[in-house]
Amino acid sequence: MIATLSGVVTEKIGQQLVVETGGVGYGVAVARSDLEALPTGQEIRFYIYEVVREDAHDLYGFSEFLGRELFEQLLSVSGVGPKVALAILSIANIDQVQRAISTGDVAFLQSASGVGKRGAERIAVELRNKVIASGYHPSGSETASADAALEALESLGYSRQAAMTALAKIPTDLSDEERIKRALSEV
């Protein structure tokens, strides 16, 4: 079993990074945030989830251990495979995905490619307690601030996914007005 992989990002091919280590290039499927954040030529270290099947040997990489843990939790839900789990982790940062699961935000989960209404409901119901047990505890003010900024961007006509992606890049300790202004420059 491969637990971690360190090396240099040599290429980006679709949703995968090629990580070269010891003269071997490993294709590692990653969430969109990691794909966009990592330039080629950079030294990285990923936590790996390995899927071995008769016809494939796939590696899924996460820059944070918590990402791999959430990925494994998503896989425990009936009907959720590695591609769907990675699609869910690609719609926003880990904290926002955990928030959506713990609050039962089915619409947010449905915004991931391959996730229908019933699948999103199943994820929220089956993982709510696991997400909270794994240490996710949003503070009331942080959640309210994020929700107010998110609602404002949605009322301006931005999709929930675009608004959450923009807000993920902005510090939560800013005022709602400042977060909205900065998010508008991101979307």
Between CA 130 and CA 79 the distance in angstroms is 17
Polymer length in residues for the chain:
187
Determine which of 43-52, 75-84, 134-143, 170-179 has the lowest per-residue pLDDT on average.
Answer: 134-143
Q: Which residues contact 164 (CB under 8 A, 6 or more apart)?
A: 91, 92, 96, 108, 150
pTM: predicted TM-score of the whole model, two decimal places: 0.71
Q: What is the overall mean pLDDT for the chain?
A: 86
Asked if 7 and 44 count as a contact pair (C-beta separation under 8 A), the reply is yes
Asked if 37 and 90 count as a contact pair (C-beta separation under 8 A), the reply is no
**141 pLDDT band (50/70/90 cuts)?**
very low
Structure tokens at 139: 């503070």
Nearest to 32 by CA among 169, 147, 156, 152: 169
Q: Is the pLDDT of residue 134 over 70?
A: no
61-73 residue pLDDT tens: 999 999 999 999 9
